[in-house]
Structure 1
Amino acid sequence: MEELFTEENQVITIVLIGVLLLLLMGVALLLFFFFSRKKIVEKELEKKTLEINHQKEIIQSIIVTQEKERKRIAQDLHDDISSKLNVINLNANLLKEGELTPEEYLIVNDSILDATDKTLESARKIAHNLLPPILDKFGLKDALEELADSFNNSRKITIEYNLEYPKAYLKPEKELHLFRITQELINNSVRHGKAKNCTIRINLTDSKLIFTYSDNGVGFNVDDKNHQLGLGMKNIESRVALLKGSYIIKSAKNKGFKTIITI
């Protein structure tokens, strides 16, 4: 009888231990899922925070770029337009007073005509910088070709291009963004990259527009935050975001620069 009780006690003990182990395993699994879920949520929050901060940087970059553009336009208006209008105004007052010899009259009149011509040319230049007429009339391909040819003629840099771009493939405002990106890239190559040659290519692959730009300049370390946070690159990044595109940069010291933008 005692042996029977002893066996029953052993069985009960084993069952209790088994139940306890199952409970411990259950608690362990619950804790594991809880902390795993917590880490996943934290990672998601961190990712969302980074995305929000990135969007804030892009918006800030757009605002800074707009302010820079406004200051440049204001400076151009002051330097090129206002100064010439002042000359016209002064000479017009001389004519109004009428105390001029025939020779002086001709000189003042010629001065007014010359200043008027220069003012009109400055106004056309400012308007061209705001929205290139060829872009508005003929589209992105012709505008990029004209831009490249103008740099080739200036001999600041030699630009090769191959633009397989269907007319009006992008909306006009998106074409303007891609045009401005190209301008910024060329200016960076000339000013900072000290490049002598660059290449611009556009082609369509699987309903995606692939824009490739490369130069043979001094290049830079792509991990260098100073280059990543530069106003020029931030301006490009913000315009790519407005195009709902993506981009990659390949560069190294003394190895040139290359970027591929996919829209």
Structure 2
Amino acid sequence: MSEKQDRIAQLERDRELLDTQIKELLRTEHRLAGARMRYERQLRRIELLNRFALAATGTQSSIDLMNLAMPMLFSLFPFEQAAAFTLRENDYLCPFCVRALAGREADSRERLGEIGEQHEISAEAPPKEPVLLGDDELGDATPFVRRVVEVTRELYAAPAPAPSTTFGASLVMPLVGRGKWALGAIVLRHDAPSLISSHERLPTEADMPFVRLTAAHVAAALQSVRLFEQVRDIAELKEAYASKVVDAQEQERIRVARELHDAIAQQLVAMRMDAEWISERLDADHPAHDVSHQLTTRLAQTIVSIRNIVYDLRPPLLDDLGVASAIKAYATQITSNAEIELDVEIVDDPEALPQQVATALYRIAQESINNAVRHAEATTLRVTVEDSGSAVLLRVRDDGRGISSDKLNASTSMGLVGMRERAALLGGELTINSRPGTGTLVSAAIPYARDPSK
């Protein structure tokens, strides 16, 4: 009987041990399941960050970047409202993009035109780390944190919480770029965190490293976009300035041409007529007869020179008959006294070009033809003007001595630099193909919008 009792007691102990082991296995399985869920959740988070980083590489504006960032943030954290604040040149932060969550569908709302100076926030002393707080904790928050949360609440027309009520929760994520460059902040908010579904939860202290990582990703992308925007703004300012310089040059050319034609040339004509009148009334053997005759000749030559200068400054044909006729007339005139065989081909004569396009094309042709006639020692010159329908094309080819690569690339060659700038300002392209002893080919293509009424 005792042996039987001992066996029963042993079985009971074995059962208890087995129960303990089973419970431990269940607890271990539960912990493993929790760890697996956390691991999978972290993988999903990392995947979202990677997708955002990849998409952000092609973004060229802060607004577009934030419209990429907001869905990611809503997927990572269970908030329903968000506001982004960006640092402006006056050291103030101002909300520039708001994204709301309607149900679980993101409803993007750009608020640039609606947010005024009353929402500006001093950029002094933003937090160095993300801050998660309830509305009942706003009184203890820093002025910066308190203000961005208040502005976010105002943007969504959320009512102010009662003094003793925790009405909502906010996560303030400072955006700090490389070199500790303060860029702004993002506020994520939920008016009723108690209504968050059971499988979601607000970030805890354990989540803060990932929150910081997320903010760092957004800040790095925003900094890159900001740098791109700055470079783009500088390029646009440079282009606008260069365009104004070119326009001013053309206006000055027109003014000088008008002055030369209307004032100086007319006075020279009157002086030549006076000299002719004097010469006709002097006897052939009079000491002043030869002088007056020479004066008449020189005045006539000066008048021709003045008229050539006026033509170079602003040829009437450019306004009257178009760029192709003006280029042909100029090439014919400048080669008339040179031993150069000229061939000008007009393919689909471009008509009714915008004035800026016509002027730029004429100046490029003028410089190219001048170089061929005066410097290249060319014997043949071929000029082609063609309208492709969306762009006007110019080719000037000579068989002269060519241009060295050093001179082609030199920034001191004002004529070549000027041609490139004129084409680039209008979205065109200019190439110069040349080697010493092989001649030169200048090719320009300048796009233009065709007038549908023409």
Q: Same fold (TM over 0.5)?
A: yes
What's the counterpart of residue 29 of structure 1? 47
What's the counterpart of residue 324 of structure 2? 141
Report the 3-state secondary structure (helix = DSSP H, G, I; strand = E; otherwise coil) of the residue aligned with 2:352. coil
TM-score (norm 2): 0.43
Verify the 8 A CA contact 1:199 1:215 in the aligned structure 2.
yes
Select 1:186's aligned residue among 344, 369, 374. Answer: 369
Q: In the TM superposition, what is the alpha-carbon distance from 1:146 to its structure 2 partner?
A: 2.1
1:17-73 Cα deviation digits (max 9, x unpaired)? 212213432442354356542176267437615733751673487389669969xx7
- Say if 2:442 is the partner of 1:258: yes
What's the counterpart of residue 159 of structure 2? none
Cα 1:139–1:35 shift into 2, 3 Å: closer
Q: In the TM superposition, what is the alpha-carbon distance from 1:191 to its structure 2 partner?
A: 5.0
- Say if 2:345 is the partner of 1:162: yes
What's the counterpart of residue 315 of structure 2? 132
**Aligned equivalents of 2:297 and 2:376: distance in 1?**
39
- Say if 2:304 is the partner of 1:152: no
Higher relative contact order (CA 8 A, sep 6+): 1
**Aligned equivalents of 1:224 and 1:9: distance in 2?**
78
Verify the 8 A CA contact 2:324 2:385 in the aligned structure 1.
no
What's the counterpart of residue 12 of structure 1? 30
Select 2:235's aligned residue among 37, 51, 75. Answer: 51
- Say if 2:306 is the partner of 1:123: yes
Verify the 8 A CA contact 1:189 1:195 in the aligned structure 2.
yes
Q: In the TM superposition, what is the alpha-carbon distance from 1:116 to its structure 2 partner?
A: 4.2
Report the 3-state secondary structure (helix = DSSP H, G, I; strand = E; otherwise coil) of the residue aligned with 2:336. helix
**Aligned equivalents of 1:60 and 1:51: distance in 2?**
14
- Say if 2:358 is the partner of 1:198: no
**Aligned equivalents of 1:194 and 1:111: distance in 2?**
33
Paired residues in the alignment total 243
Q: In the TM superposition, what is the alpha-carbon distance from 1:163 to its structure 2 partner?
A: 0.6
Select 2:428's aligned residue among 243, 246, 254. Answer: 246
What's the counterpart of residue 175 of structure 1? 358
Structure with higher Rg: it is 2
Verify the 8 A CA contact 2:253 2:313 in the aligned structure 1.
no
Report the 3-state secondary structure (helix = DSSP H, G, I; strand = E; otherwise coil) of the residue aligned with 2:442. strand
Identity of counterpart residues, as a percentage? 18
**Aligned equivalents of 1:192 and 1:27: distance in 2?**
67
Query: Unpaired runs of 5+ in structure 2?
Result: 1-18, 57-220, 279-284, 448-454
**Aligned equivalents of 2:245 and 2:417: distance in 1?**
6
Report the 3-state secondary structure (helix = DSSP H, G, I; strand = E; otherwise coil) of the residue aligned with 1:154. coil
**Aligned equivalents of 1:236 and 1:215: distance in 2?**
17
Cα 1:222–1:4 shift into 2, 3 Å: farther
**Aligned equivalents of 1:239 and 1:52: distance in 2?**
15
Q: In the TM superposition, what is the alpha-carbon distance from 1:186 to its structure 2 partner?
A: 1.6
What's the counterpart of residue 99 of structure 1? none
Cα 1:197–1:222 shift into 2, 3 Å: farther
* Amino acid across the alignment from 1:11: E
* Amino acid across the alignment from 1:133: P
* Amino acid across the alignment from 1:25: L
Structure 1 segment 79-94 matched on structure 2, within 5 A: none
Query: Unpaired runs of 5+ in structure 1?
Result: 96-101
1:136-181 Cα deviation digits (max 9, x unpaired)? 4433333222222234333354332211243733245643332221
Verify the 8 A CA contact 1:139 1:168 in the aligned structure 2.
yes
**Aligned equivalents of 1:135 and 1:63: distance in 2?**
16
**Aligned equivalents of 1:28 and 1:192: distance in 2?**
65
Verify the 8 A CA contact 1:59 1:238 in the aligned structure 2.
no
* Structure number with higher strand proportion: 2
* Amino acid across the alignment from 1:209: V
Cα 1:108–1:135 shift into 2, 3 Å: same
* Amino acid across the alignment from 1:260: A
Q: In the TM superposition, what is the alpha-carbon distance from 1:2 to its structure 2 partner?
A: 1.3
Structure 1 segment 92-103 matched on structure 2, within 5 A: 103=286
TM-score (norm 1): 0.68
Verify the 8 A CA contact 2:317 2:325 in the aligned structure 1.
yes
Verify the 8 A CA contact 2:408 2:416 in the aligned structure 1.
no
